[in-house]
Amino acid sequence: MSNMQLDTLRRIVQEINSSVCLHDSLDIMVNQVSDAMHVDVCSIYLFDERNQRYLLMASKGLNPESVGNVALQLGEGLVGLVGQREEIVNLDNVSKHERFAYFPETGEEIYHSFLGVPVMYRRKVMGVMVVQNREAKDFSEAAESFLVTLCAQLSGVIAHAHAVGNIDVFRKPNLGSTYKTFQGSSGAGGIALGRAIILYPLADLAAIPDREADDISEELVLLDQAIESVRQEIRSLDEKMHDSLMSEERALFSVFLRMLDDNALPAEIKELIRDGHWAQGAVKRVIDRHVALFAQMEDDYLRERVADLKDLGRRILASLQEADSSHKELSSDSIIIGEEISTAALVELPVGKIAAIVTSEGAANSHMVIVARALGIPTVVGVTELPINTLDDVELIVDAYQGRVFVNPPRRLRQRYKEIQKEEEQMAKDLKQYETKDAITPDGVTVRLFVNTGLMIDVVRGVQRGAKGVGLYRSEIPFMLRERFPGEEEQRAIYRQQLSHFANKPVVMRTLDIGADKDLPYFEIEEENSALGWRGIRFTLDHPEIFSSQIRAMLKASIGLNNLHILLPMVTSISEVEEALYLLERDWIAVQEEEEVKITKPKIGIMVEVPSVLLQIDEFAELVDFFSVGSNDLIQYLLAVDRNNPRVSSVYSHFHPSVLRSLQRLVIECHKYNKPISICGEMAGDPLSAVLLMAMGFNTLSMSSSNILRVRKAICNVSMSDAQVLLEQVLKMNNPLIVKSWIEYYFKTHGLADMVKSSRIVNV
């Protein structure tokens, strides 16, 4: 593809991504493609799943009256052929093809050549893009490549529009009254029945969808209140900065106030509201429109005002959202719905009133899901087709075991899930007997079960459920809940709480592990591939002041308790460990001198997350006291699969043969060098995989407090000899689904069917 074509592609993609709705995106696409390819016709047909047809949604070259009216049934015509084959169809004379279907209202009888390309998203046909010419001649390979590339971009736009409910073009009935099922990925298991409350990202213009206003009068009132609130805010800022800034530097505040005059931005926003748009969507449209105009201007000063304009838009939006949220009171059956929900946003909500969480983005092992699991909140993620916009206050059932969301479920389905909830309540009562039991197999082997913590509720539940220690304290969580880096004394108080609740028991504290899906609101890290980027020990060694502040706080918190262990995350090389050990030694000596007290030197371990560590265990063993497997990341890197990407989440499995074999070899190596080996990922909290880990020889399994009793029950009912036979059998298998099914079969035939998620499946 030539540089000119690449530039054209970039320009088209940029315009599509900046458009405010799907209709605009499609219109931009057909017009730009027609011009760029010098073709007579460019058309886009979208697949209407409900009516099983392809509907003409945009066209340049065909009769405009046919747009929105011409539809081809599944498999009908050349468009249907492209969708059926899921491949390119390139013809020099369409009239000679047996599948040609003529629609006189389009006026396409004068066009002979045809190039159709499927718009695919996650192996599903979303639509078909077609270009046509009068000349009877095949399209070139370069033309095919150009169109395929654009269709790949368009597929994401269409899928996103589906996800947020922006596709109303098929005139679907409002989901407020229609029963429908959506599939995602299971995050934190459980069942919930309740009503949806939509959580939009605060003051994020890009995340605000188009939707109709429920009450136009109310939206206008909310806008007036928001505009007046922003005016007062700007006046206050102007007054506050009067003595600090010169009048020229404060001129921006006057510009903002003029833009907020009744006949300026507010008038445009109100016009859209009166046309039926909700206030937040109207603000987004108006701001986006002005941003696009300013960005195209040749005047540098005006181009630089784009950021100011966006800032003003965010202020209006934030005020609107504040007013909107004051109208929403969470009840005990509130099901939180959103595109993506951050950990910080989750813990700011009244957790006791959240029945479940559903997101259209994310995957089963994201940090938010890990926290939701610890809080015992059923969670389904990656529901990419969920029409979020249409679900506010709609009745839902969330089956987080299967990753299913039922919208407006029928009475019989509600009744069945209420029965399952009762069964779960009974199961929870049955599991309480394991709170006071040790995890000892029927043939007498003891397995230590530790708890993963981060929030105080993890600690309380861990103690209540008999955890023998903390296998992973996520020190980043207190950092995520603040608006700045916590000081040394703040950290000391937090760490002391953790250590004292488990006095006389080991507490493994992981040093700050930010990056990837664990962002700090006040220290954003922008990277193309954050999972492989500046995270874990890579970040803290680049910021030794943050690392030392944390180590000093941990050491001070451990005085008199002597149960601190320190864990280094995301280790890749020997040099990283050597540098960290130097800083640890330096801080250990310094703190003892400052506090005038002897502090027991903590044991130091590294997380086994990066596969390269597996090949250097002998060298790392000379430096550290213990190893701890972070199975979530190790699996991600072993299988080259982004665990937060719903498109490939099905590839992620802790039953994959390469995962099991790698862990078995790791345990053998650690035992060879007399180093304790634990595992603290989600794999440890799954009863099915826990018995395999036990058989491998892991010294400790550390998990969410919500999984301790289930895993303990499994261990108390599966002998070590049986577990070793199971392990030997599955290590010979080459398919993760077969591995999982084999273990499930064992559980079901040995009185442990309640440990198997599939035993709770409801067929609908």
Helix (H, G, I), strand (E, B), or coil: what is residue 294? helix
Residue 481's pLDDT is what?
Answer: 67
Q: How far apart are CA 662 and CA 331, in angstroms?
A: 46
Is residue 177 very low, low, confident or very high in pLDDT (cuts 50, 70, 90)?
Answer: low
Q: Which residue has the higher pLDDT, 401 or 50?
A: 401
- Name residues whose C-beta falls within 8 Å of residue 384's C-beta, 6 or more positions apart in sequence: 122, 159, 162, 163, 184, 360, 361, 646, 647
- Which 8-state DSSP code applies to residue 361? S
In which band, very low, low, confident or very high, does the pLDDT at 661 lie, cut at 50, 70 and 90? very high
Distances from the Cα of 501 to the Cα of 413, 453, 455, 461, 494, angstroms: 43, 12, 13, 11, 11
What architecture (CATH level 2) is domain 205-326?
A: Orthogonal Bundle (1.10)
Cβ-in-10-Å burial (0-12, 13-18, 19+) of 383 comes to buried
Residue 172 is predicted with a pLDDT of 39
Fold of 180-201+339-409: Glucose Oxidase; domain 1 (3.50.30)
Highest mean pLDDT among 41-50, 478-487, 739-748: 739-748
* Paired sense of beta strands 564-568 and 185-188, if any: unpaired
Per-residue pLDDT tens for 457-468? 789 889 999 999
Average pLDDT, the chain: 84
Return the CATH fold of 447-757.
Answer: TIM Barrel (3.20.20)
Considering the domain 3-163, what is its CATH architecture? 2-Layer Sandwich (3.30)
Of the candidates 497, 461, 505, the one whose C-alpha atom is nearest the C-alpha of residue 478 is 497
Tell me the pTM: 0.62
Q: At 199, is the secondary structure helix, strand, or coil?
A: coil
Distance CA 502, CA 497 (A): 9
Give the pLDDT confidence of 494-543 residue by residue, as tens digits.
999 999 999 999 999 999 987 665 566 555 666 566 667 778 899 889 88
Tell whether the model's pLDDT for residue 3 goes beyond 60: no
Write down the pLDDT at residue 385. 78
552-597 pLDDT per residue, tens: 999 999 999 999 999 999 999 999 999 999 999 999 999 999 999 9
Amino acid at 654: H
What number is the average pLDDT over the span 421-444? Answer: 90
Q: If we measure between CA atoms, which residue out of 619, 629, 625 comes closest to residue 603?
A: 625
Domain boundaries in the chain?
A: 3-163, 180-201+339-409, 205-326, 447-757
Binning pLDDT at 50, 70 and 90, where does residue 171 land?
very low
Q: How many CB atoms lie within 10 A of CB 725?
A: 13
Residues 6 or more apart from 378 whose CB is under 8 A from it?
Answer: 188, 189, 190, 191, 192, 355, 356, 357, 398, 400
Query: Quick check: 170 pLDDT over 50?
Result: no
Given the structure tokens 């079969």, which residue do they identify?
745
Query: Residue range 140-157: average pLDDT?
Result: 82
Give the per-residue pLDDT at 593.
Answer: 94
How would residue 252 be classed by pLDDT, with cut points 50, 70 and 90? low
Residue 522 has a pLDDT of 56
> pLDDT per residue over 16-66, tens digit each?
665 556 777 788 889 888 888 889 999 999 988 777 889 898 999 998 888
What percentage of the chain carries pLDDT values higher than 90? 41
Residue 404 has pLDDT above 50, yes or no: yes
Q: How confident is the model at residue 362 (pLDDT cuts 50, 70, 90)?
A: confident
Q: Return the closest-CA partner of residue 518 out of 548, 499, 539, 541.
A: 539
Answer whether residue 724 shows pLDDT above 90: yes
3-state secondary structure of 509: strand
What is the identity of the amino acid at 17? Answer: N
Cα distance between residue 707 and residue 687, in whole Å: 8
pLDDT at 554: 97
What are 729's two structure tokens?
């059998």
pLDDT at 18: 59
State which of 55-64, 79-88, 153-162, 444-453 shows the largest mean pLDDT: 444-453
User: Can you give 26-89 as a three-state secondary structure string?
Assistant: HHHHHHHHHHHHCCCEEEEEEEECCCCEEEEEEEECCCHHHCCCCEEECCCHHHHHHHHHCCCE
Burial class (CB in 10 A: 0-12, 13-18, 19+), 1: exposed
What element of type H or E holds 293?
helix 279-295
> pLDDT: is 280 or 625 the higher one?
625
Reply yes or no on whether the pLDDT at 299 is more than 80.
Answer: no
Tokens describing residue 98: 């047996």
Q: Is the pLDDT of residue 473 over 70?
A: yes
pLDDT of 246 higher than 70: no
The pLDDT score that the predictor gives to residue 763 is 54
What pLDDT does 298 receive? 60
List the catalytic residues. 367, 680
